Structure formats: structure tokens, C-alpha cells
Chain A
Amino acid sequence: MRDGQTMDPLDPSPSAIDAGDEPGVDEADSTSPTARPVAPGKDESEKLDQYLLRRYHLHGDRKARDQLITMYLPLVRSLARRYASRGEQFDDLVQVGSIGLIKAIDRFDLSRGVELTTYATPNIIGEIKRYFRDKGWSVRVPRGLQELNIRLNKVIDELVAKLQRSPTINEIASAAGATPEEVLEALETSQAYNSVSLQSAPNGDDDDETGLIEYMGSNEEAYDTMEDRTALAPGFAKLEPRERYILHLRFFEGLTQSQIAGRVGISQMHVSRLIRRALEKLRENIGEDAV
């Protein structure tokens, strides 16, 4: 530090860093997880983040990197918790999310002027989603088809919005830059995807963080008061309420799959899978007594 200069203890400016000073901690234990100031404010946290990022990216300080990872593990755990009810172990999700965090720290661009939290969150979520995507296929599906399948979700939704009707295979193929055969194959492979779980995010690309259960919860009342309950066969009654709701929309209210998708807020492909699965469960539930 230059003589006469007043320095903010949390000042992450290059002069402070170059001088070997650290915001709020001693050089000796600068990389200790406990070195972070007690309950720092948002500004202080950001300054500490920036300081550690500079230490790592400009000086190759691996301990600064380790400290950042430790500091942001609660964020990873928080994000992993959102996905913990979808059939995978919480610890596995934390591990996968940590990879996203490390990638974010390693790829962080100091010149961009964004906060690490802002940059790390989508990276962590992206890694967790990729994990689900790769684990979600019940049979081996080539990655190209998986990716086309995921792309089709968006393409179909966009076409429905644009055309105000269910698109044809040829229209989907044209919009997706694929052949009709590739589209058919990708649509078929979606049947091998396990994301039909009602716990899954509504869209195939999982952009929406709201689970289908949460979304459909708002429609429970409408379902409960429907008047044609007497028309339900015993096997139908054994389905989960939300499965009955989807079937109710299709077969009692006569909505098309696209209309159901629009009403419930999920993709047409997801509706298709849900209907198929519900009918399959019906067959299993009631054997030869119905359907």
C-alpha cells in the first residue's frame, strides 16, 4: 500500500491485490473457508468473490478457487434440492451441480462485470439437467436423437403458437431442419424417456422450474367438482388425481392433446406420454374389467 493511501479493507482493486492485501482477511489464511468475513453484506460478498476470482484467474491461486467452491456449495445444495424429488439421490445431484459450479468458476470472465452467482446458477442447473437428461432415457438413444427430441419440444410449441393448431410432421420437420423420418424417429424415442413423471418439469427442456404437480395443483378444485364423476370406472378412480385430470380433459372434455398442453402448460409431447402412461396404468389396474 502506498503511503498516505486510505484503503477499504474489502477493496478488491488491483492495487490492493497486487500489494498482497486481502479484503478482510490476512494473507496467511486468505484461502481458508473460515477466512470470509462474518455475515458479510451483499456488497462485501461480491467484493470477496471478485477478489478470489482475481487471485485465481490472474495469479493462478488454486486455494482461492477452492475457497470459492466451498463458499458456493450452499448454492449448489439449494439448487440440487429443487430436483431432489425426481428420483435421483440428493448427494448425486450436489456432486453433479458442483461440477457446474467448478466450470463456472473456471470459465468466469473477469472483464464481463457480472456476479459469480449470476453466472454460476445457470451453469449448476444446466449440469443437473444434463444429468437428468442422460439418465432419463430408459433405453440407449443416440445423442443426436436425444437432442433433436429436446429441440422438437420447442419447435412444436412455437408452431402451435404461430399456427394456432397442431402442426403436421412436415411442418415440424421443416421448422426443425430435419427430415420427416428423423422427426418421427425422435418423437418415437421420446416414448423411451422417463420424464413422464409428474414430478418432472413441464417442458422437455426443463426451462420452467415449476413441477407439473405444482402447476396442476391449481386445477385440483376444478377436477374435484366435475359432474361426470359417476362415469368413472373403478380402474379410472385408482389413478392419481392428476392422471385422471389429464384423461378427463382429453376424453370427457374432448380437448386435443395440444389444447391440453396449452391449458396445463406442458408440451404436447409430454401430454402424449402422460395419456399413454395413464392408459397403460388403467390396463394394469383393472386388468380385463375396463378399457
Chain B
Amino acid sequence: MADTIRLEVAAAPSVLPLVRMIIGGVGARLDFSLDELADVNLAVEELLCAAQGLGEGPRHGLDMQIGDDTLTVAAGPFRSPELRERLTSAADGFGLSMVFARVVQSVEICGTDDDCYSVVFSKRRGAE
């Protein structure tokens, strides 16, 4: 059975070092490479920073599910339509969707209604 680590942090840049350390520990347990670890950290950091920039908060939740070779992260809850748009927009240009497309294997928006959603993404060991 996969372990899940639940983390709830303030929506502030100052928590990012702590988040990176925890993700590092989880990634080490999955035997992620340094590159893979950097990718997960980048995804989390960009997502949280974008959310903070759009006024999301005051706290963010991060659920990290540790599979055999995959780390699945669920971040939220978010309400910003713009954040959703940025994550799903396939428009030309360098943006959040492009970053996610490069650094993780899957990303999806999960929510029970339009107002509140989580961003769930996964990183698989050895996929790159």
C-alpha cells in the first residue's frame, strides 16, 4: 500500500526550502535521480508561486503519494480560474503548462465543482 505524506504550509515563499527538503526525502526514498528530484521541486515551486501570485491561500496543502516508482502530488485547494487556465492552456508561449509538460509525466485538475480544485501531477522514476 502506498504511503501518503500530507503537508500543509503557509502560502509564502519562505516555506519553499522546507517543502524542497521534504520532497527531497521522499524522492530519495523513491530513488529518484537528482534531475528527477529537481523536476518535482520545480513543479511544486512554480505551482505554489503562481498560486500565491494569484492570491491563493492563506495555506496550501500538499499530499504526496509514494508508489513503487512514482510520486504523485496533489496540491490545493485552489479556486483561481486563471491558475486553471495557465495549467491547461496549450497556447504558444512559455508558461506554467509548458513547465509542467516538461518536468512531470502527467498533470490534471481534479475538483468536485468549478469553484474548488486540486492540481494532481505525477513523476515517474526513469521516465526520462
A268 on the interface (CB 8 Å rule)? yes
Q: A188-B20, A257-B38, A276-B45 are in contact. Are A169 and B27 (CB under 8 A)?
A: yes
Return chain B residues, CB-CB under 8 Å to A191. 17, 20
A288 on the interface (CB 8 Å rule)? yes
Do A187 and B24 have beta carbons less than 8 Å apart? yes
In the complex, the chain A residue whose C-beta lies closest to that of B92 is: A231
Measured CA separation A156–B35 after assembly (Å): 11
A275 on the interface (CB 8 Å rule)? yes
Do A251 and B94 have beta carbons less than 8 Å apart? yes
Measured CA separation A202–B45 after assembly (Å): 25
From the candidates A167, A169, A290, name the one contacting B94 in the complex (CB within 8 A).
A290
Q: A165-B33, A168-B28, A180-B28 are in contact. Are A272 and B94 (CB under 8 A)?
A: no
B37 on the interface (CB 8 Å rule)? yes
Return chain B residues, CB-CB under 8 Å to A288. 53-54, 82
Chain A 262-279: CB-based contact to B (< 8 A → 1; otherwise 0): 000000100010011001
Most chain A CB atoms below 10 A, which of B34, B37, B42 = B34
Would you give the shortest CB distance from B34 to chain A, in whole angstroms? 5
Q: Mark out the residues of chain B between 83 and 117 whose CB falls within 8 Å of any chain A CB in the assembled complex.
A: 86, 92-96, 98-99, 102
Do B99 and A251 have beta carbons less than 8 Å apart? yes
From the candidates A230, A283, A291, name the one contacting B92 in the complex (CB within 8 A).
A230
Return chain A residues, CB-CB under 8 Å to B86. 291
A210 on the interface (CB 8 Å rule)? no
A144 on the interface (CB 8 Å rule)? no
Would you give the shortest CB distance from A34 to chain B, in whole angstroms? 57
Return chain B residues, CB-CB under 8 Å to A78. none
Return chain B residues, CB-CB under 8 Å to A230. 92
In the complex, the chain B residue whose C-beta lies closest to that of A271 is: B38
From the candidates A188, A232, A247, A268, name the one contacting B35 in the complex (CB within 8 A).
A268
Q: Mark out the residues of chain A between 157 and 203 whose CB falls within 8 Å of any chain B CB in the assembled complex.
A: 165-170, 172, 180-181, 184-185, 187-188, 191
A250 on the interface (CB 8 Å rule)? yes
From the candidates B32, B45, B93, name the one contacting A169 in the complex (CB within 8 A).
B32
From the candidates A166, A247, A280, name the one contacting B34 in the complex (CB within 8 A).
A166
Do A258 and B98 have beta carbons less than 8 Å apart? no
Do A232 and B94 have beta carbons less than 8 Å apart? yes
Return chain B residues, CB-CB under 8 Å to A291. 46, 50, 86, 94-96, 99
Binding site secondary structure of chain B: helix
Return chain B residues, CB-CB under 8 Å to A272. 38
A236 on the interface (CB 8 Å rule)? yes
Return chain A residues, CB-CB under 8 Å to B27. 169
Do A290 and B93 have beta carbons less than 8 Å apart? yes
Do A251 and B98 have beta carbons less than 8 Å apart? yes
Q: A181-B25, A191-B17 are in contact. Are A172 and B95 (CB under 8 A)?
A: no
Would you give the shortest CB distance from A48 to chain B, in whole angstroms? 52
Would you give the shortest CB distance from A170 to chain B, in whole angstroms? 6
A287 on the interface (CB 8 Å rule)? yes
In the complex, the chain A residue whose C-beta lies closest to that of B52 is: A283
Q: CB within 8 Å of B: which residues of A? A: 156, 165-170, 172, 180-181, 184-185, 187-188, 191, 230-233, 235-236, 247, 250-251, 254, 256-258, 268, 272, 275-276, 279-280, 282-283, 287-288, 290-291
- Can you list 25 A-B contacts with CB-CB less than 8 angstroms, sorted by A residue number? A166-B34, A167-B33, A167-B34, A168-B31, A168-B34, A169-B31, A169-B32, A180-B25, A180-B28, A185-B21, A188-B20, A188-B24, A230-B92, A235-B94, A236-B93, A256-B35, A257-B38, A258-B35, A279-B46, A280-B49, A283-B49, A287-B53, A290-B94, A291-B46, A291-B96
